[in-house]
Structure formats: C-alpha cells, structure tokens
Structure 1
C-alpha cells in the first residue's frame, strides 16, 4: 500500500498511466470486450486489469492520478449503444458522475460507434479491463497535462 494512491491502482496500471504522454489514450473496458486481443495491438502490447470493480470505481481510481485533456476538448468517449447512439446506459451515467466529480465541473463524454471504438482501442497506449459486467461499460480516455505551479 502507498499513501494517497487509490488501492485499486496496481503497479502495472500505475506504471502505464505514468508512462503515457499528453494526448495518449487508454481504453477502459468491460468484461465482454475482446480485451486480450485488442490489447496486444495497443502501444503497451499487453492487457492490464483492475479486476473485481465496476467501470465507475475503476474510472474514479484512474482519475485520482490521471489528468484529462478536458479543458481543450471532450476527453472521455463512451461506446455508443447500437441503434441508439444518444442513449446513455446506467453504467455510463455512473461513469459520467465520476468524471464530473474529478473535473469539478460538467465534462460530457462523446459517443464512439461500437466498431470505431474497437479500432480506437487498438491504437490506444493501453487497454485496462475491469470487472464491469453490464453492457456498454467501455470508455476511451485522453490524457491531459498538469500545469506548472503558478
């Protein structure tokens, strides 16, 4: 255990988050996502896990250390519901609340069509699988920057 580090963040995940640069993306995915095969095509080349937690809990842990690129653009994408791209599933509503809390303001997610999400995840820096069992618990995060102290 470390002080001030969310215990859901294991060493492999912390290393990946720290290694990412501004503009790099990570895919946070549910248990139904083809995580292993997609992760092999990512920059990191291997699957990372935050097991036995929901997507919202994993998002909360990640956002405790990862800055989003939100001031410049929407920085979290969500997999769209097939046939209903504007529909938000309960898992997505829960994750949106964690994003807003971390950002201290509303930071709406943008939609990504299902197959476009698969392609974007292949190009991500890394793929992190959660224990989320609900459908559409898949998100793409863009890393931002931490400004210098004023």
Structure 2
C-alpha cells in the first residue's frame, strides 16, 4: 500500500499511467467492450465500475487542456445529444478534475479506433452499456 493513492490503482495500472507521455490516451472500457487480445497494454479491473476507475485515474493523471478535447465518449443510439447516466457521471468526474473540460461525443467507429490507439486499455467490470471513456494525458505542471 502507498499513502494517498486510490487502492484501485493497481501496480500494473500505476506503471502504465506513469509510463504514459503527454498527449497519450488511456481508455477505460466496460465489460462488454471488444478488446484486441494483441494490444500490448491491457489492465483488467474486473468487478469495478468504469466511473470508479475514472475517478482513481483522474486522481493522478492530468487531463489535456491545450487541445480542443481531452476526453471522449461514444455516441449512443445514433443520437449525439443523448446523455446516458454513465455519460453524465463521466462528464462530472472530468469537470471535477479538469474544470472547463467535459466529454466530447464521437461516432462509435472513431471511438473504437481511439481505444485501439490508446497507450493502455483498462477493462472494467462496468455493466452499463456505453460505459467507456478515453482520456488524453496532459502536462504535469512544475511547482510554483
């Protein structure tokens, strides 16, 4: 155990997050999301909700602030304006840790490509449909 770290941040996940560079992505996906078994970095957190994992990740990872978007979710049911409860929870967490940021809704095919291109994919036990999010790592600012 380490002081001050969310216990959901497993050794494998911490290693991946620490190894990420600026503008690399972490994908947090639901239990039904198809993941390429050949992906180099898959971390499994079965039995844990995607929102709990996002909260843990955002406790140590800055969100990209210099690009138009820093976090993405999939468009559900072909309706970009449809905000499912899981989307609202993701959005609130991103806003809490990166004020002024929120989720950008993108087409399912584009979302799946972002997941495949992510530095690390975290597979959760999330059972809610569309319970997946991609977050781009921002810059860790020097102390003032």
Structure 1 residue 128 and structure 2 residue 126: aligned?
no
Q: Distance in 2 between matches of 1:95 and 1:56?
A: 6
Of 51, 54, 66 in structure 2, the residue corresponding to residue 56 of structure 1 is 51
Q: Does the CA-based 8 Å contact 1:54-1:132 persist in structure 2?
A: yes
| 1:46 shift after superposition | 3.4
RMSD: 1.4
What is the match of residue 69 of structure 1?
64
Instruction: String of CA shifts for 1:105-134, please: whole Å, max 9, x gaps.
Output: 241210121111111211111110111100
**SS, match of residue 115 in structure 2:** helix
**TM norm structure 2:** 0.93
Paired residues in the alignment total 144
Structure 1 residue 139 and structure 2 residue 133: aligned?
yes
**TM norm structure 1:** 0.89
Where does structure 1 lack aligned partners over 5 or more consecutive residues?
none
Of 37, 40, 61 in structure 1, the residue corresponding to residue 38 of structure 2 is 40
Structure 1 residue 12 and structure 2 residue 12: aligned?
yes
**SS, match of residue 135 in structure 2:** strand
Q: Runs of 4+ in structure 1 displaced over 6 angstroms?
A: none
Q: Does the CA-based 8 Å contact 2:30-2:123 persist in structure 1?
A: yes
Instruction: String of CA shifts for 1:3-25, please: whole Å, max 9, x gaps.
Output: 01100110000000000000101
Q: Does the CA-based 8 Å contact 2:90-2:133 persist in structure 1?
A: no
Q: Does the CA-based 8 Å contact 2:27-2:118 persist in structure 1?
A: yes
